[in-house]
């Protein structure tokens, strides 16, 4: 995942535990989103909420959600928004699953364990190039 606009709102302890602890895919997993359970609750740094945001520190003024964005409502369970997810809302996005890994998320089953790994934008772009190259090779092997 590439850390997002609101990643800096997490406490230092939350940042460390998010990446260090294993997460388990919950039963609420489909083309809309994948809910992960089992890690520690993630705390957000306290701040005065801006007008239009909810009272919980994980709330923001409504924003657009890119495919693959990771939100953590109330700091409890990360949700990866997948291809049929809503396009906007009021939860902070702490990061985005890179496009090269979205299909891997889509193949995960309930109770499967996973860890989130931070990558740079450059690493994400290289992974996307590599993924597209593999898809191109496969399409040549199996023409339609």
Identify the three-state secondary structure at position 30: coil
Confidence at residue 143, expressed as pLDDT on a 0 to 100 scale: 85
Domain count across the chain: 1
Confidence at residue 144, expressed as pLDDT on a 0 to 100 scale: 76
Q: Are the C-beta atoms of residues 39 and 23 closer than 8 Å to each other?
A: yes
Residue 138 included in any domain: no
Residue 93 included in any domain: yes
Confidence at residue 63, expressed as pLDDT on a 0 to 100 scale: 93
Kindly report whether the global pTM for this prediction surpasses the value 0.75. Answer: yes
E strands, the chain, are 2-3, 23-29, 33-37, 59-64, 69-71, 79-81, 88-91, 93-96, 113-114
Identify the three-state secondary structure at position 59: strand
Residue 75 included in any domain: yes
Confidence at residue 90, expressed as pLDDT on a 0 to 100 scale: 93
Residue 132 included in any domain: no
Low-confidence ranges of the chain (pLDDT < 50): none
Full residue range of the structural domain in which residue 115 is found: 2-119
Confidence at residue 73, expressed as pLDDT on a 0 to 100 scale: 94
């Amino acid at each position: 995942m590439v850390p997002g606009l609101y990643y800096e709102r997490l406490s230092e302890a939350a940042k460390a535990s998010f990446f260090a602890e294993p997460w388990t895919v919950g039963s609420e997993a489909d083309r809309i989103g994948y809910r992960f359970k089992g890690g520690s609750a993630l705390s957000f740094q306290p701040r005065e909420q801006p007008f239009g945001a909810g009272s919980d520190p994980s709330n923001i003024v409504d924003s657009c959600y890119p495919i693959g964005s990771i939100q953590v409502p109330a700091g409890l369970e990360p949700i990866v928004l997948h291809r049929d997810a809503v396009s906007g809302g009021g939860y902070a996005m702490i990061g985005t699953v890179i496009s090269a890994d979205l299909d891997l998320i889509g193949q995960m089953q309930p109770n499967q364990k996973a860890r989130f790994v931070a990558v740079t934008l450059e690493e994400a772009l290289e992974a996307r190039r590599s993924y597209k190259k593999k898809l191109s090779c496969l399409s040549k092997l199996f023409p339609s």
